[in-house]
Each structure stands twice: as C-alpha cells, then as structure tokens.
Amino acid sequence: MAQAREQRMTERWKELNKQAIDLMHKGDLEQAAARLQKTLDSARAEHGDRHESVAVTLNNMGELYHLTGNYDQAEQSLRQSIEVSEEIHGKGALEVGETQLNLAELYFLQQRDEEADRQVEEIVSIYEAKAATDQSLLVSVYNTCATLYLEAGRAEPARMYLEKARQAIEERSGAEPELAVVLKGLAVIDRHQGDFEGAETKLRRALSIFENSIGPEHSEFAGTLAHLSEVYLSQGLFQAAEPLLNQAIEIYTHAYKDPHPEAGAAIDRLATLYGATGRAEKAETLYREAIHIYSASLGADHPALAEAQNSLGEMYINGGQLEEGFALVESSLAIREKSFGTNHPAVAQSLNNIAIIYDRRGDHALALRQHQKALKIRETVFGQDHPAITQSLDNMAAIYRGQGKTSEAVALLERSLAIWQQAQGDAHPAAAQSHHNLATLYIESEKYDQAEQALLRSKKILEKDKDAHQMHLATVFETLSGLYKKMGQERESNEYAARSLKIRKPEQAGTGQVH
C-alpha cells in the first residue's frame, strides 16, 4: 500500500522523503525532522494542502514526533494526515486506515485506551470491508492490531485478533508461513501469561512450518528459535535457551553477509544470558560484538546501540567497574537524548544508572538530582500512579535512608507500595518487595508493630508461589527473625531463622544449629 501511494508522487518528493526515512532508520531524528519539514514544504508548494504527498509526509512526521516523545505534535500531524486522506479517498479508504494504525499506537502508548479501541475498531472495519479483494492484507492488519494490544499489556484483545488472523489463514490454502507468524504471536501471549507449554508447542509448530516451507537457514526460522529461547529464559532454563540462541546466531551469520540488527539482537540476548549465569567475560565479549553490529548496521546514533551500551554499562556497574560503566551509560544517554529528546522513558533509564554510579561514588546529592530528573520524566510520560515510576521512588528512598532521613524514605516507599497495590493489587511480588522495604525502615525507627504487619503481608504474597520466590522468602524470613529478636520473642526469631536456613542451605537444616 505504501509503495502504491508513493507511485503517485513526484520524483523530487520521493527523493526528499527517502532521505528523511533513511535518517530516521539511522537514528538521526533531528536531521530527519528538518528533512521532513522540507519534504512537506515542497509537497505543499507543488500541490497545495490536499494532496497524497502532503498526507504521507504528515503521517511520517507524526511517526517521527512519536519517536521523539513529542506526543501532542505527533497526534496533530497524524490527525491532519487522516483529514487530508479522507478528503482525497473517502473515510473508508485503506490510506486512512494506515494512518489510523499509527494514531492508535500513539494512544496505546499514552494509555488512552478508549480512544485507541475506537481507532482499532474503525481500522478493522475498513480492512474487513476490503477483505474480499485482499485477504492477506486483512491478516496483516489483524497481526498489527494484536501487536499493539500486546505491547499495551492487553493480552486478551491481542489473542482475539491473532485468532481472527489464524482463522482467515486456515480458510485459505498455501499460506503456511503466514500461519507460523501468527503462531509466534500467540506464543508470545502464552509466555507472558505463564503458559510456557502452550508457547513451546506453538513455536515448535511454527519452526516445523518454516522448515518445510522457507527452510531452516532462513532468518524467520532463526527469529523463531530466538522466541523459543525466550520461553526457556522466562523459566530460568538457561541451558535449554543457550543452544537455540547460538543456532539463531549461526543462521543469521550465513543469511546476512553484512552486519545485521537481527543478528545483533540475538547476540545481545545471549550476552544477557551469559551475564545472568555468571559468565561475565563471555557476556562482555558478546555485548561488544552486538555494539559493533548495531553501529555498523544502524549507525552511531541508533537507539538499539544505546540499549546495548546501557546493558554492558549496567553489567560493569554491578561488577564495581564504575568508570567503564559510566562511559557507556553516558554515551547511551547522549544517543537517547538525540534520538528521543530529553523527555523519554529510555532517557530516564540512563539517568537512573548514572545516579547509581554517583551514589556508589559517594556523591549522594548529585545521585538524588539524577533520580529526581528520571522521576519527573516518568511522571510526565506515564502519569503519577504508574508502576514505571516506582524504580525512581525506591532508589530515592534508598539514598534518603543512607542519609538518615527515614521519614522521607518512608513516604517514598509508601507511595511506591500504593502504586503497585492500585495497579496490580496487593498480591503482586513487587508489592511484597515494597512491604519488605518499608518493614526495614520501620525496624530502624523502632516501629516494630508496623514492621511485623508489613513483613507478614510480604510473606503471605510470596508464599502463594513459593518455588518462584524462594530466595525472596528467605530474605523476608531473615528480617522477621531479626525483628522478633529485637522484640524479645526468641521462639519466633529462631523459627524464622531456621526457615530461612532451610531455603538457603537445605543440607544444614534440621541440625539444631541456627546461625
């Protein structure tokens, strides 16, 4: 559809638009914005305000503003594009539906769910009306809508549209690769909902389809292997995930002669696996390889490069290599600010990591200022009551605690807990962590009754899935043991010390020795 629209444009517009899109792909969003403005000015000068080239350029500008976090300008540009397309083609045109998809994506990001739902309903009705002439286009739209809902954390609407896509495909013959793509999407939902068996079954069927259609050396096959590795990684099955990622990397290496982002992403993921399993040297080598691939294939200012730099920087920080970590995180921040502007969640993440480095250097005041900047960004983007802001609240509380400012720390942790309770209920593991953090502050303030209540709430949440939260439970038991000791309740103190020991060192449990 996009190619068909471009065929109606002048050569000058095509060249300007191509330059702008290339700059966007390279992550040079500032230059892309200037080029798009030039493209729009050229289109209006040649054709007036009501021409296809104007509509397409406004759509592209909306996408660019979306990337840079300028959501009001993004909405304005996309709505103008829709208005122009409707005047040219009519309300039920596919050209209108294309831009409405981008507008729906913007609304989902801003959590304007009702408006997003209306856009999706209109989009689907447009494409369903055209289904008789192009069924594959309808399948593509179902997939896209499913992806939007999945990224918004709304699994059931995503599943509904993927099932619609599967039904449409299965009514036709010779469309097996399309079915494999849908199965991959359904597997992602299964994985997110904890149905790992269902996810694995679907992905193995997708692998079989790809193997018998496009072949096991195709990049789609490699991508499906990477998805299957995520299923195993979600269960902590690192040994099962590792060979899949290695196989995917090998396929990408042969499929692409030049450095390619898909290969970089698989290498990046394997680096994360190595880091999680204590193989820091291998992780460092692979992170640096991913950084090289992203730089060579996407340019020196691309967000994917910033993400890999940030991951390696975090590994250095956790390993105590603060200077190496700082250089990478600072570079990541510069790329993100250039790509997204200064008011974007990725920028907040970089600021958070820089704050951690300052804190560990002992510059607590500067660390606090960086956390406050990160918090302000997250509040602006997500709102005052979104779980995304709790990381900043918790980290600021830790600094205040270290400075002996207990009341300030308690206020922040209580706010963090209230956010999790509102968003996920009081049975979420994050709420358990907040209860535990508050309890330790209550203990320091000698508010033992409040500390006990908070710890018992944390314990109750975690015991609903003991296997998944064993180590966290052990920590809660240790804190309860220490609390009861302070309260003079030796029997309870010893009981929880023994329960913690049973988790951490089961071979020593039952010996009567409590340390």
Q: How does DSSP assign 257-310, residue by residue?
A: SS--HHHHHHHHHHHHHHHHTT-HHHHHHHHHHHHHHHHHHH-TT-HHHHHHHH
Would residue 288 count as lying in a domain? no
Tokens encoding 395: 């980290």
Would residue 235 count as lying in a domain? no
Neighbouring CB atoms inside 10 A of 512's CB total 6
Q: How many domains does the chain have?
A: 1
Spatial distance between the Cα atoms of 303 and 66, rounded to a whole number of angstroms? 14
Would residue 25 count as lying in a domain? no
* Measured CA angle at 336 (ends 334, 341), to 5 deg: 100
> What is the model's pLDDT at position 8?
53
| Residue found under tokens 């409040």 | 450
Over its C-alpha atoms, the chain yields an Rg (Å, rounded) of: 26
Identify the CATH number of the domain in which residue 440 sits: 1.25.40.10
> What is the model's pLDDT at position 311?
96
Spatial distance between the Cα atoms of 346 and 341, rounded to a whole number of angstroms? 10
**What pTM was estimated for this model as a whole?**
0.72
Per-residue pLDDT of the chain (515 residues; tens, 9 = 90+): 454 455 556 788 888 888 888 888 877 888 998 999 998 998 898 889 989 999 999 999 999 998 888 889 999 999 999 999 999 999 888 889 999 999 999 998 887 889 999 999 999 999 888 776 677 788 889 999 999 998 888 899 999 999 999 988 887 765 688 899 999 999 999 998 889 999 999 999 999 999 999 999 999 999 999 999 999 999 889 999 999 999 999 999 999 989 999 999 999 999 999 999 999 999 999 999 999 999 999 988 899 999 999 999 999 999 999 999 999 999 999 999 988 888 899 999 999 999 999 999 999 999 999 999 999 999 998 889 999 999 999 999 999 999 999 999 999 999 999 999 888 888 888 889 999 999 999 998 899 999 999 999 999 999 988 887 888 899 999 999 999 999 999 999 999 999 999 887 654 444 433 33
Please give the DSSP secondary-structure letter assigned to residue 163.
H
> What is the model's pLDDT at position 5?
53
Would residue 374 count as lying in a domain? no
> What is the model's pLDDT at position 466?
83
Tokens encoding 68: 């840079």
Would residue 457 count as lying in a domain? yes
Would residue 365 count as lying in a domain? no
- The dihedral built from the CA positions of residue 126, 131, 134 and 139, taken in this order, carries a sign that is positive
Would residue 438 count as lying in a domain? yes
Spatial distance between the Cα atoms of 505 and 72, rounded to a whole number of angstroms? 55
Spatial distance between the Cα atoms of 177 and 188, rounded to a whole number of angstroms? 17
Amino acid code (one letter) for 457: R
Spatial distance between the Cα atoms of 390 and 378, rounded to a whole number of angstroms? 9
Spatial distance between the Cα atoms of 190 and 199, rounded to a whole number of angstroms? 5
Would residue 475 count as lying in a domain? yes
Domain span at 475:
417-515
